[in-house]
Amino acid sequence: MSDDTEVHLEARLAEQDEFEPPESFVEQANVTDPGIEDEFEDNWPEAWERAADLLDWETDYDEVLVDDNEPFYEWFVGGELNASANCLDRHLDDRGDEPAIEWIGELGETRTYTYEELHREVNEFAAALRDQGVTEDDVVAMYMPMIPELPIAMLACARIGAPHAVVFAGFSADALAERMNASDSEHLVTVDGYYRRGDPLDHLSKAREGREQVDGDVTTVVVDRLGEESPADVAGGEHVYGDLVEEHAGATVEPVTRDAEDMLFLMYTSGTTGKPKGVKHTTGGYLSYVTWTSHAVLDVKPEDTYWCSADIGWITGHSYIVYGPLALGTTSVMYEGTPDYPDKDRLWEIVDDYDVTQLYTAPTAIRAFMKWGPEYPDRHDLSSLRLLGTVGEPINPRAWKWYYRHIGNEECPIVDTWWQTETGGMMITTLPALNTMKPGSAGPPLPGISADVIDPSGDPVEAGRAGHLVVNKPWPGMLRTLYKNDERFINEYWDEYSNPERDQWVYFPEDGAKIDDDGYITVLGRVDDVLNVSGHRLGTMEIESATVGVEGVAEAAVVGGDHEIKGEAVYAYVITEDGQEESEAFREEIIAAVEDAIGPIARPEQVIFTPELPKTRSGKIMRRLLEDIANGDELGNTSTLRNPDVVHDIQQKVSSE
């Protein structure tokens, strides 16, 4: 392709605000009936039976929804099933020899688990857990990176009716201990270590440090990932995973029948009080919801090779690496490493090698791909891709269009999905064969989801105005409560806009948003990610989107800093694309773009050029540290960062300007 043609294509995309699904996609899509919205509207909540019908039930449910104790809703009441059986056993006849998990290690090692092989090892480990004293309703903590033994352990727990509580491997020993104590867990599955950028990392020492802080005795199972490079031998009270599986070779465990409302897992997420919240997800509602959204939004089919590049330590990995895809009998790809090791084309190499059909990744990653340049995906054949998705944070229009052009070749619909740990699965996004795509806007609420954008008084805002995102009806994948804390559950999510006297319960996810005339919702970020500049409330996401819209900007993070006159001032930390000069003229261009998009009130006090932004190991920007730098405050904890050195570099840059 000539340079002139490429420039023409980029210019055309830059001007386009709406995109229709490609006809080739629509012809084969799972959901193509335009009447689905009306069906949910006219037949709610019974229309959710279509989600439950994707599962095998041991006992049929009596009622779709019981709402006589709001907001403690119950779904598919009276129904019984087992999540492990739905993800494994029911596929053995048709898919037993087909891959369930394709795993790629940091060092290039690969492992393929067919459904038969995965079923066998899940049974063996389930038998081992039972012998270790794990019984129904015991919470098993898991502190592991992206290795196959993690979903095996999750499914083994589900098989014997023991809820799991996965703790992200990048969290500290203190975080592990806090979550195990909060969940009353006396069982831990962990690993000796794992690799990052080719180097072995000691994980077992961290796990032991956390275990020592847990109240009571803890039974520990250790996966041997590092082999001879392992920093420590198994100690007393610890059992080697491989030995346990070998001891129980050929064992079979009958799946424990679970009530639809029985807990499947706990996932701890941050809270406004600083104490993590134990989000409780149940077997029937959660599993049906993630299966249906995988089918309807991600268009997953059994013959696909589907890849969600998240970490299973987060809810995205639970829902869209493990439970949703495996319940549909597809092949789910797991990758242990980072996108740029050993080179910046690692992801595209995997897509090419495995003929990946769907890629579901984060805007943070897409912005990094943009910065590295299209020459890396251009090295590989990405024509197997049928659908692209984004998750984790809003994606700005420029990054969306880059993804659409350079990864999807303008032939893949993009689903920009908004949801939370608490919602269990996707809530706001386009149905890829039915809805027009609007870059920067997640889309309308999914069929069956009632969402709106309201002002502080609870009234709907006008189109184009910012407000608070709320959900007005329950949905099957919703959290049921916070573990052993019903009061906090109500206070954190239902208290703000609900009016029990009017029999009106409104879920408030604490996100800001705006809505357009077509009902498309653009999520602007957390409500606490709002700056108050001279009495004007400005969403950081709006300012960031305007900043990244400038040609030459690869990524940006906006925070507020104390200001004697304005109260708060806007500080923009900017990463430029390769080849873009970090000049005063370019700084002024960014400032002008923000003023044009939002108004002079949003004018950044400072634009700081930086080669990197401080990010957690999951890829989230640590804006709190950027606020500390802007205010000249003492820095908070940097232990969860994957690039802690960058904070000092940014500090020096700010002080020199």
Per domain, the residue ranges of the chain are 116-256, 466-523, 529-656
Type and span of the H or E element at 320: none
In whole angstroms, how far apart are CA 293 and each of 14, 82, 267, 417, 478? Answer: 30, 19, 20, 11, 13
pLDDT at 637 over 80: no
pLDDT value of residue 640 = 66
For the stretch 293-313, pLDDT in tens is: 999 999 999 999 999 999 999
Is residue 391's pLDDT more than 80? yes
Specify whether domain 116-256 bears CATH 3.40.50.980: yes
Q: Which backbone phi and psi does 153 adopt, to 5 degrees?
A: -65, -40
Asked if the model's pLDDT at residue 388 lies above 90, the reply is yes
pLDDT tens-place string over residues 118-140: 999 999 999 999 999 999 999 99
- The pLDDT confidence band at residue 657, using thresholds 50, 70 and 90, is low
Which 3 state secondary structure label does DSSP give 180? helix
Q: DSSP for 545-602, please give it.
A: HHHHTSTTEEEEEEEEEEETTTEEEEEEEEEEPTT----HHHHHHHHHHHHHHT-GGG
* Pure H helices in 386-527: 397-402, 486-493
Q: Is the pLDDT confidence value at 266 over 90?
A: yes
**Can you give the pLDDT at residue 46?**
98
* The pLDDT of residue 566 is above 80: no
pLDDT-based confidence at 1, cuts 50/70/90? Answer: low
Radius of gyration of the CA atoms of the chain, in A? 24
Average pLDDT (447-468) is 91
| 81-98 confidence digits (pLDDT tens) | 999 999 999 999 999 999
- CA-closest candidate to residue 316, choices 266, 258, 354, 360: 360
Express each pLDDT in 327-353 by its tens digit: 999 999 999 999 999 999 999 999 999
Angle between helices 173-182 and 204-212 (to 10 degrees): 50
Q: Which two tokens stand for residue 455?
A: 């002002």
φ, ψ for residue 584 (rounded to 5)? -65, -35
State the alpha helices, DSSP H only, in 104-227: 115-131, 149-160, 173-182, 204-212
H-type alpha helices, 403-437: none
Q: Got the DSSP string for 100-120?
A: EEEEE-TTS-EEEEEHHHHHH
Per-residue pLDDT band for 612 (boundaries 50, 70, 90) equals confident
Q: What does the pLDDT read at residue 535?
A: 64
- pLDDT, position 543: 87
pLDDT at 236: 75
Percentage above 70 pLDDT, the chain: 96
Residue 639 has pLDDT above 90, yes or no: no
Q: What is the pLDDT of residues 14-30, one digit of tens each?
A: 788 999 999 999 999 99
Pairing of strands 99-104, 110-114: antiparallel
Closest listed residue to residue 263, CA positions, set 249, 278, 244: 278
pLDDT over 60 at 226, yes or no: yes
The answer to whether domain 116-256 and domain 529-656 are alike in fold is no
Q: Are 388 and 357 contacting, i.e. CB atoms less than 8 angstroms apart? A: no
Output the pLDDT for position 572. Answer: 94
Q: Can you give the pLDDT at residue 162? A: 98
Q: How far apart are the C-alpha atoms of 245 and 258, rounded to whole Å?
A: 25
- pLDDT more than 90, % of the chain: 72
What CATH number does the domain located at 529-656 have? 3.30.300.30
Query: Do residues 504 and 480 touch, judged by C-beta distance below 8 A?
Result: no
